[in-house]
Amino acid sequence: MLIFSLGFSVFMYFAGLISFTIKRKHLLLMLLSLEFIILGLYFNLYLYLSYFNFEYFFGMIFLTMSVCEGALGLSILVSLIRTHGNDYYHTFNVLW
């Protein structure tokens, strides 16, 4: 059962990476794939901590930091939508 769970968490991580690289021009989908990567990492951390019978306090710290990262990403997304009207990268002329 542990091998299946570990394989599933690794699959979640790589699926998030693949979706992050495919949807690199759409900010909302990039944020969703980052959250999916973090979910896979959290599941892997949970398996690691439960396998060695450690406390789950570090998992709560990891969840707190990932929630802060998600809130910052959503605030940047809201700011971009308010200023530019959409969240596609190819419509921004940042370098010009």
Q: Which pLDDT value is given to residue 76?
A: 86
Q: Which pLDDT value is given to residue 90?
A: 64
pTM for the model stands at 0.83
In a domain, 84, yes or no: yes
Nearest to 77 by CA among 30, 39, 35, 21: 30
In a domain, 21, yes or no: yes
Residues sharing a CB contact under 8 Å with residue 7, sequence separation 6 or more, in sequence order: none
Give the CATH number of the domain where residue 39 resides: 1.10.287.3510
The per-residue pLDDT string of the chain (96 residues; one tens digit each, 9 = 90 and over) reads 888 998 999 999 999 999 999 988 888 888 999 999 999 999 999 999 999 999 999 999 999 999 999 999 899 888 888 887 777 766 656 545
| Domain span including residue 44 | 2-91
In a domain, 83, yes or no: yes
What's the total number of domains in the chain? 1
Nearest to 51 by CA among 1, 9, 11, 2: 2
In a domain, 96, yes or no: no
Q: How far is CA 84 from CA 28, 38, 77, 80, in A?
A: 14, 28, 10, 6
In a domain, 55, yes or no: yes
In a domain, 42, yes or no: yes
In a domain, 31, yes or no: yes
Spatial separation of the C-alpha atoms in residues 1 and 90, rounded to whole Å? 45
